[in-house]
Structure 1
Amino acid sequence: MTPLSSGAVAFITGISGQDGGYLAERLLGEGVEVHALANVHEPLPDIAGVELHPGDLTDVTSVRRLVVDLAPDEIYNLAALSSVAQSWEQPDLTAELNGSAAVALMESGLQAQRGSGRPVRFVQASSAEIFGEPDRSPQDESTTVRPLNPYGAAKAFAHLSAHVYRQRGLHTAGVILYNHESPRRPRHFVTRKITSAVAEIARGRTETLTLGNLEARRDWGWAPDYVDAMVRAARAEVAADFVIATGTSHSVRDFVATAFAHVGLSDWEHHVEVDDALVRPTDASELRGDSTRARQRLGWAPTVDFDEIVGRMVEADLLELEAQSSSSPSR
């Protein structure tokens, strides 16, 4: 990897998300000066050491002015409408934020590079959803891009544009991130919905977990591992696209069973209800990635297996419930 020079500056979008927080902490630990675009429509995150710039990624003029002024060494574009389900409800916003605004940020990075005379390294957070219903499994960087939903379609536009900007001289890495989880995952994601409900069931606070398709299979990894891959991709000698995945898939049913097993409940089926209204209009049956290129060129590898990921998330939700109980006034 190409080392950063002293006094290096990084710019992050999507700072309030799971990956944004882990990435900021990683870069700050390296002594990097971290700036972040903080969505004006969301509560400002509290990350000590990060200089926040309230704004909206779709406000291209303002964001471009900021990027050109900062002239960062690295740009990480993590901002997105990140829910596939929500993308069906807001396809226009999804296309603008996940697609057009991402490409505009690449252009801003290129203009910053030309203005400062120093190289800018750009990381575009892509998604396995760009493959839709893939023609082979596992998928790698050469797999046909054919998304099935508005989220994947918008991400595909930005992903393909990364290649365009590489041709224009911007060191642009497209990291095709498969599902990755942590206790920081928002509750509207199915994985966190599962672990938080399992914690509540284990503590007698509720009895039922309602889900959609239990048979969908995904390749689940540990979020800090995937952030490590982003940093490695930014500093690679040659910019390229990289599939970031574990190579092993599990079903939603597997995730549920593993979460219940962690709290000692093997007869979990009577706690789970399936609601057809929660099933997406179209949903890939299996997404599983081949990260050979990332392993060979970046020296990257996942460090946390599936059972441990689920267990850590359940434990975090149990601790959160205990903290809530201890802070509640006694009667």
Structure 2
Amino acid sequence: MKKALICGVSGQDGAYLAQLLLNKGYVVYGGSRDSQMSSFKNLTKLEIKEKVNLLSININDFRSVLQTILKVRPDEIYNLAGQSSVGLSFEQPVETLESISVGTLNLLEAIRFSELPVRFYNAGSSECFGDTGNLAANENTPFRPRSPYGVAKAAAFWQVANYREAYNLHASTGILFNHESPLRPERFVTQKIVSVACRIARGSSEKLVLGNINIARDWGWAPEYVEAMWLMLQQNTPDDYVIATGQTFQLKDFIKCVFDYLNLDWTLHVSCDESLFRPTDIAEGHAQPEKAYKVLGWKAQYAMSDVAKMIVQAKLSSLQ
């Protein structure tokens, strides 16, 4: 049986990935900074917490990382850890850079030092590209990040590429565009929209207050994105891949889908507050995910409207 170590197992992607790997017969180890104190509520929601071998690992501490790898001796390591909010990265730039960039470097160096035949997946981000205008970004598009989060992810990306080329590690980065699910915390705008809209539908008189609703993104369904991560580590040759739907919509299109599904007119319930605008933001995000389809055989099955409906359905079910 293959063994997988997921760093950041308590997050959205970590939980869905753990579920996928368990279904494929893996022995799954899930790392968190303090496994005694973490709630692992996403694993509980998916009813898999008891099936995951939970352990404490601080990826900012090289010794902690090396000890864990030598103890578990995993076949695959998935690095999904680190500060995950673009907005929060403007308030916590040092924590963001350290948790993403230094953490990734520690994992790579520990794999190299252990000399174990580990296959490594790194969670990259479309935030690395910055604002490409109408240009659909692919694996060859230059990086010009516009947030501390994007800068940290770009640094981690090049660390992975360097270790792959210099030390022949089987290390790949998935450059994922936005992907959502019911497991997102409410600090993410899609979850905030759904939560407030559902409360309004149940009689609340509150307003949904947002920042810039004219931004455009490629939104996908997180449970199918983790399959792309797994597929990357099944290839003989490690490489980097853009993972996205290939379709871009404005945030107000997402808002409209959510409110329409609840039979509400979004324009009556939404207001914009310029104080919520980010210091620098990406106006549009367009993706070209053809390589993932050609090499991995992976293609997104769910569009933005499907994602909006599925998150609303899950929220309504949880409120009953």
* TM range, smaller chain: over 0.9
SS at match of 2:300: coil
Deviation at 1:273, TM superposition (A): 1.2
Task: Answer yes or no: is the 8 Å Cα contact 1:220–1:246 preserved in 2.
Answer: yes
1:102 aligns with 2:104: yes
- What letter matches 1:27 in structure 2? L
| Separation in structure 1 between the aligned mates of residue 110 and residue 132 of structure 2, nearest angstrom | 32
Alignment of 1:32-181 (within 5 A): 32-40=26-34, 43-45=38-40, 46=44, 47-112=49-114, 114=115, 116=116, 119-134=117-132, 137-167=135-165, 168-181=167-180
Deviation at 1:183, TM superposition (A): 0.8
Cα RMSD of the aligned pairs, angstroms, is 1.3
Matched positions, count: 311
Task: Answer yes or no: is the 8 Å Cα contact 1:181–1:221 preserved in 2.
Answer: yes
Listed one character per residue, the Cα deviations across residues 276-313 of structure 1 (whole Å, up to 9, x for unaligned) are 11110000111111111110000000111211110011
| Separation in structure 2 between the aligned mates of residue 182 and residue 87 of structure 1, nearest angstrom | 21
| Separation in structure 1 between the aligned mates of residue 187 and residue 18 of structure 2, nearest angstrom | 23
Task: Answer yes or no: is the 8 Å Cα contact 2:65–2:106 preserved in 1.
Answer: no
- What letter matches 1:140 in structure 2? N
Query: Given the two structures, how large is their TM-score scaled by the length of structure 2?
Result: 0.94
Deviation at 1:110, TM superposition (A): 2.2
| Separation in structure 2 between the aligned mates of residue 104 and residue 31 of structure 1, nearest angstrom | 28
Partner of 1:296: 294
Deviation at 1:40, TM superposition (A): 2.0
Deviation at 1:136, TM superposition (A): 5.6
Listed one character per residue, the Cα deviations across residues 162-188 of structure 1 (whole Å, up to 9, x for unaligned) are 111111111011100000011111111
Deviation at 1:111, TM superposition (A): 2.4
- What letter matches 2:147 in structure 1? N
| Separation in structure 2 between the aligned mates of residue 162 and residue 135 of structure 1, nearest angstrom | 27
1:306 pairs with 294, 304, 307, which one?
304
Partner of 2:15: 21
| Separation in structure 2 between the aligned mates of residue 81 and residue 52 of structure 1, nearest angstrom | 20
| Separation in structure 1 between the aligned mates of residue 62 and residue 118 of structure 2, nearest angstrom | 18
SS at match of 2:136: coil
| Separation in structure 1 between the aligned mates of residue 274 and residue 243 of structure 2, nearest angstrom | 31
Partner of 1:325: none
Deviation at 1:26, TM superposition (A): 0.7
Task: Answer yes or no: is the 8 Å Cα contact 1:173–1:240 preserved in 2.
Answer: yes
| Separation in structure 1 between the aligned mates of residue 220 and residue 241 of structure 2, nearest angstrom | 15
- What letter matches 1:295 in structure 2? Y
Partner of 1:30: 24
| Separation in structure 2 between the aligned mates of residue 64 and residue 181 of structure 1, nearest angstrom | 32
Listed one character per residue, the Cα deviations across residues 245-266 of structure 1 (whole Å, up to 9, x for unaligned) are 111011111111110000111x
Moved over 3 A (4+): none
- What letter matches 1:72 in structure 2? P
Deviation at 1:39, TM superposition (A): 2.5
Task: Answer yes or no: is the 8 Å Cα contact 1:216–1:251 preserved in 2.
Answer: yes
- What letter matches 2:184 in structure 1? R
1:213 aligns with 2:212: yes
SS at match of 1:214: coil
SS at match of 1:320: helix
SS at match of 1:254: helix
Partner of 1:188: 187
Question: 5+ unaligned residues in a row in structure 2: which ranges?
Answer: none
SS at match of 2:51: coil
SS at match of 1:48: helix
- What letter matches 2:91 in structure 1? E
Task: Answer yes or no: is the 8 Å Cα contact 1:38–1:44 preserved in 2.
Answer: no
Q: Sequence identity of aligned pairs in percent?
A: 41
- What letter matches 2:255 in structure 1? V
Partner of 1:279: 277
Partner of 1:328: none
Closer, same or farther: CA 52–260 of 1 in aligned 2, 3 Å = same
Deviation at 1:69, TM superposition (A): 2.3
- What letter matches 1:199 in structure 2? C
| Separation in structure 1 between the aligned mates of residue 130 and residue 63 of structure 2, nearest angstrom | 33
| Separation in structure 2 between the aligned mates of residue 135 and residue 283 of structure 1, nearest angstrom | 12
Task: Answer yes or no: is the 8 Å Cα contact 1:68–1:109 preserved in 2.
Answer: no
Deviation at 1:68, TM superposition (A): 2.2
Partner of 1:203: 202
- What letter matches 1:29 in structure 2? N
| Separation in structure 1 between the aligned mates of residue 39 and residue 61 of structure 2, nearest angstrom | 18
